[in-house]
A and B are shown apart, each in its own frame.
Chain A
Amino acid sequence: MTRQKRSHHRLKRAVAPYLYLSPSLLIIGLLMLLPMVTVIGYSFQNSAVLRRDPSFAGLKHYQAIFADPVFWASLWHTLYFTCMSVVFHMTIGMVFALMLNSDRINPTLRNILRVLYILPWLFTAVIIAVIWRLLLEPNGVVNSVLMQMGIIGSKVEWFSSPATALHAVTFANIWAGYPLFMVSLLAGLQGIPRDFYEAADIDGAKAYQKLIFITIPQLMPIIISISLLDFIWTMQVFPLIWITTGGGPIYSTEVLSTYTYKLAFSSYNLSQASASAVVILLISLGLTLLYIRYQKAR
């Protein structure tokens, strides 16, 4: 092979992977990167979108949202909503996965439970929101049952009272999201070698010691991966909150996604909405980097 032919061959080999990647790169660029860069650009402009020749605003819109108490309330609500959701998704998912993996449960009952436990995953966010709005209505089933059991004395307006609204939407989100953890942890549990538990039995381990010393450490890679992903996804939840409470009453369930939406489409302050969207982007980016770093470390 001549030198020219060889270098041509080498060039072809170097370019080929990028050619294969180019369709997906193009789509990602057009549908994700371009809007993202545009929104970042808007956040530094006055009257973005609304005016043809918007002027440069510097960090003005960032200063404005950071000075807005509703933004800080939204941030706090987002963190509460997200943290509680992730913790309970994991706890409930783990309990149900352990139950479904147990030999002590009758196989028929186990199959029925498997279907029942996974049901919330089959519904879209809109249906979940409608179901819980109906259930948690002042005259709904939940109030009626709780009153009959004597747990509450009078009807509670779960979604309309500032004291309970955030807890109520968080509860609905926990109900909707635990199956992802349950399914992932169940797959992980089924992958733990039986020998580990038998060796522990011989060594005299009690059930809780097997959970602490074997099951949880063995599931840790799954727990960390799914928790990080759930954190990223839950931070961005919009339809469930929008349909159940719309961020109210009196901003008590306002989260960063509804706060940004209102700035953009209720107040038409697209520049400030962009700044708020960039803040969400930065928080999500931080978590994503953490996730990638963890995956690489494995």
Chain B
Amino acid sequence: MAEVILENICKIYGNNFRAIDQLNLSVEDGEFLILVGPSGCGKSTALRMIAGLEDITSGSLRIGGVDVVDMPPKDRDIAMVFQSYALYPHMTVSENIAFSMRLAGKPKAERKKRVDEIAKTLQLTSLLDSKPANLSGGQRQRVAMGRAMVREPAAFLMDEPLSNLDAKLRVQMRAEITSLQKQLGVTTIYVTHDQIEAMTMGDRVAVLKGGVLQQVDTPKRLYESPVNAFVAGFIGSPSMNLFEATLMGDELMSGSFAIRLQDAAFVRRPGLRSYAGRKIVFGIRPEDLYDSSLESGRKYQTIPAKVTSIEELGSEHIVHLNIDAVRVDSGDPDAVDDFGLASNAVARFEPVSAVHSGSEIRLAVDDAKFHFFDPETHLAI
């Protein structure tokens, strides 16, 4: 077990493409850190650099206090779980798990003892003689975990290990990996593009965009206090609604509506006053928008909206709406999927809501939950 420290890590490819730019991260001993971001943000490159599969252009990387920048992967005391699992199809489960011990020349009896222990932990005992082709996705995933565990490494590196599983199994495996990590207490760096995995599994989450670290924090703080519009849009599903408005006195003016801000909003964010008379970006999460005809929405200010479509999920309704405001792009390529062509906002209504597609409604807005961003820099105010 060890802490992993990245200082000013850069990765520049031959064509001058900067995949990682000045990455500074400190992963504590036993911590479960998630690296998250949209496709191409450099999260897998960062993980592969920690593993030693990718050269580091500049910067320092220490695992357990040892500088490992010039060390080959085998000497870094890490184990990696690949997205494809990388299980050898010609070897049995037992041979796959024991492979690193076999390479190290460990005696057969010792290998068997260790494999049996791991198989028991991962409930793979009855599958030890099977080949990977005969296993289900979840079982293969567990074998890949077993192969990493057998080395008793200082740190686990996991590269989107759940992306090949179906939705139900992914939920189950999320819980299994989290509890296994807690049980083993091994420092773990886990890469994913799925922000639900990021929010549910990690002790802390590092959000990357275009090779630049945006924010490292606990899932809760990341959700409640995003440092910029990108993090605000990326974390949360459906994404936060971001709109352009003008701050006139204590009112937010946008299109045909105005929302009065409470004094508390200015007290919490002293910088907000300086935007008076200027453009500003405000954000509101889908769960902070309400159906004004229901009890839950009665106490808030309302704005006009047109319902464009509804996804009835049973426990809630995801309602796509069009409001008279200019939507702001957070810079997250995946966020576009949350909005249809005709809608520019998403709300999460209680299942008792009777709104239907095409209806004109009054949308209740909990203005105390607003997030504010600078329209140029997109930094939180």
Closest approach, in angstroms, between the C-beta of B2 and any C-beta of chain A?
Answer: 16
Q: Whole-angstrom distance from the CB of B182 to the nearest CB of chain A?
A: 24
Tell whether B78 is near chain A: CB-to-CB under 8 Å: yes
Whether a CB of chain B sits under 8 angstroms from the CB of A17 is: no
A213 within 8 A of B: yes
Instruction: Verify if A30 is at the interface (C-beta below 8 Å from B).
Output: no
Given A201-B53, A202-B51, A202-B80, CB of A195 within 8 Å of CB of B86: yes
Question: Are B86's CB and A203's CB within 8 A?
Answer: no
- Which of A203, A214, A217 meets B151, CB within 8 Å? A203
Contact with A along B114-153 (1 / 0, CB 8 A): 0000000000000000000000000000000001000100
- Report Cα–Cα, A195/B51, bound state, in Å: 13
CB–CB A203/B90 < 8 A: no
- Measured between beta carbons, the chain B residues less than 8 angstroms from A206 are 103
Size of B's binding interface in residues, CB under 8 A: 23
With most chain B CB atoms within 10 A of its CB, the pick from A199, A200, A209, A217 is: A199
Could you say which residues of chain B place their CB within 8 Å of the CB of A218? 89-90
- Measured in the bound complex, the distance between the Cα atoms of B90 and A248 in whole Å is 47
List residues 203-224 of chain A with CB under 8 A from any CB of chain B: 203-206, 209, 213-214, 217-218, 220
Assess whether B84 is interfacial by the CB under 8 Å rule: yes
From 13 to 64 in chain A, residues with beta carbon under 8 angstroms from any chain B beta carbon are none
Q: Which residue of B lies closest to A210 (CB)?
A: B103
**Cβ-defined contact, B90 with A209, below 8 A:** no
CB distance from A43 to the nearest CB of B (A): 45
Q: Is the CB of B73 within 8 A of A202?
A: yes
Query: Which among A201, A214, A217 has the highest number of chain B CB atoms within 10 Å?
Result: A201
Give B305-336 as 1s and 0s: 1 = Cβ < 8 Å from A's Cβ atoms.
00000000000000000000000000000000
B99 contacts A by Cβ under 8 Å: yes
User: Are the CB atoms of B86 and A204 closer together than 8 Å?
Assistant: no
A220, B100: Cα distance in complex, Å: 22
**In this assembly, does A66 line the interface, its C-beta being within 8 Å of a C-beta of chain B?**
no
B88, A204: Cβ atoms closer than 8 Å: no
B interface: dominant SS = loop
Residues in chain A near residue B52, CB distance under 8 A: 201-202
Asked whether A204 lies within 8 Å of B100 as measured between CB atoms, the reply is yes
Mark each residue of chain A from 182 to 207: 1 if its CB lies under 8 Å from any CB of chain B, else 0. 00000000000101101111111110
- In the complex, which residues of chain A have a beta carbon less than 8 angstroms from the beta carbon of B84? 193, 195
Interface flag for B82 (CB, 8 Å): yes
Report which residue of B51, B83, B90 has the largest number of chain A beta carbons within 10 angstroms of its beta carbon: B90
B78→A217 contact, CB < 8 A: no
B351 within 8 A of A: no
Give the chain B neighbours of A204 by CB distance below 8 A: 74, 100, 103-104
Distance (whole angstroms) from the CB of B66 to the closest CB of chain A? 16
Residues of B within 8 A of A195 (CB): 82-84, 86
Question: Which residues of chain B have C-beta atoms less than 8 A from A193's C-beta?
Answer: 84, 86
Assuming A204-B74, A213-B99, is B104 touching A199 (CB within 8 A)?
A: no
Name which residue of chain A comes closest to B151, CB basis.
Answer: A203
| Chain A to chain B contacts (Cβ below 8 Å), 30 pairs | A193-B86, A195-B84, A195-B86, A196-B86, A198-B51, A198-B53, A198-B80, A199-B80, A199-B86, A201-B52, A201-B72, A201-B73, A201-B74, A202-B51, A202-B53, A202-B73, A202-B79, A203-B99, A203-B100, A204-B74, A204-B100, A204-B104, A206-B103, A209-B103, A213-B88, A213-B99, A213-B103, A217-B88, A217-B90, A218-B89
List A residues at the B interface (Cβ < 8 Å): 193, 195-196, 198-206, 209, 213-214, 217-218, 220
Beyond contacts A198-B73, A205-B103, A213-B103: 8 other A-B pairs, Cβ-Cβ < 8 A, are A196-B86, A198-B51, A198-B86, A201-B52, A201-B72, A203-B103, A203-B151, A218-B89
